Amino acid sequence: MTSKDYRRRAEEKINPFITNAVIIYLIFFVIMSAVSGTFIGALILSGPLSLGLIKFIKATYNKEKADLDILFKGFENFVQAMVLWLLKSVFVFLWSLLLFVPGVIKAFAYSMSMYILEEDPTMDPMLVLKKSADMMKGHKWALFCLYFSYIGWIILSILTFGILFLWVKPKMDMAHYEFYLDLKTGRRSEVADIREIR
């Protein structure tokens, strides 16, 4: 699976529901912008709303009904989502104090944490971060390349004052979810083993 393959599969999944996706992501960004100046507001809302986005991506992937209220489903696991978001942010920030690159590496190491929590909301947040880091061993560069493959769309989004990003971000998140599923099922590891043998 190349970055191009992930992008293609993500578009096939999200395009039939793109209008719904744009509305949900717009609500998310409006809420987060409203609380961006207050630490307490960001602390309370960031984790649960991010978890809600993942629930939407998962439902869309499975072609399940995803109403607008799915964005707020993350509040059903409010404490776990909030603590996970806080721990992830603190750890990435602390690593970033050393140098920029270690912070980026840690951000990619923890990038699967919300997907893991969505599947098992009872899991301890520290264990979630550890499991994400274990999953991402040997795969951080591949995920970085996947995100970098959207650089053209991201630049265009900046030129449109972020409006285009409402269409781009759902596709990026769906590609990320596809990547997560490949890690979870071991498909990426199997491909890596085959390449080593060759």
Q: Report pLDDT digits (tens) over 143-197.
A: 999 999 999 999 999 999 999 999 999 999 999 999 999 999 887 655 544 343 3
Over residues 148-158, the pLDDT tens digits come to: 999 999 999 99
Chain Cα centroid distance, residue 136: 13
* pLDDT (mean) for 48-58: 96
Mean pLDDT to the nearest integer, 74-79: 95
Half-sphere CA count of 187, side-chain side, radius 13 A: 9
Burial tier of 59 (Cβ tally within 10 Å: 0-12, 13-18, 19+): middle
CA separation for the pair 84, 79 (Å, rounded)? 8
Q: How far apart are the first and last CA of the chain?
A: 17
Region 34-38: mean pLDDT is 85
Q: Which residue has the tokens 């979810």?
A: 177
> Which of 33-47, 49-63, 109-123, 137-151 is predicted with the least confidence, judged by mean pLDDT?
33-47
In which residue are the tokens 């578009």 written?
Answer: 11
pLDDT band at 13 (very low <50, low <70, confident <90, very high): very high
Q: What is the pLDDT of residues 42-51, one digit of tens each?
A: 899 999 999 9
Question: In the prediction, which pLDDT does 124 show?
Answer: 96
Domain boundaries, the chain: 3-197
pTM for the structure as a whole: 0.89
Kindly tell me if the per-residue pLDDT of 38 is higher than 80: yes
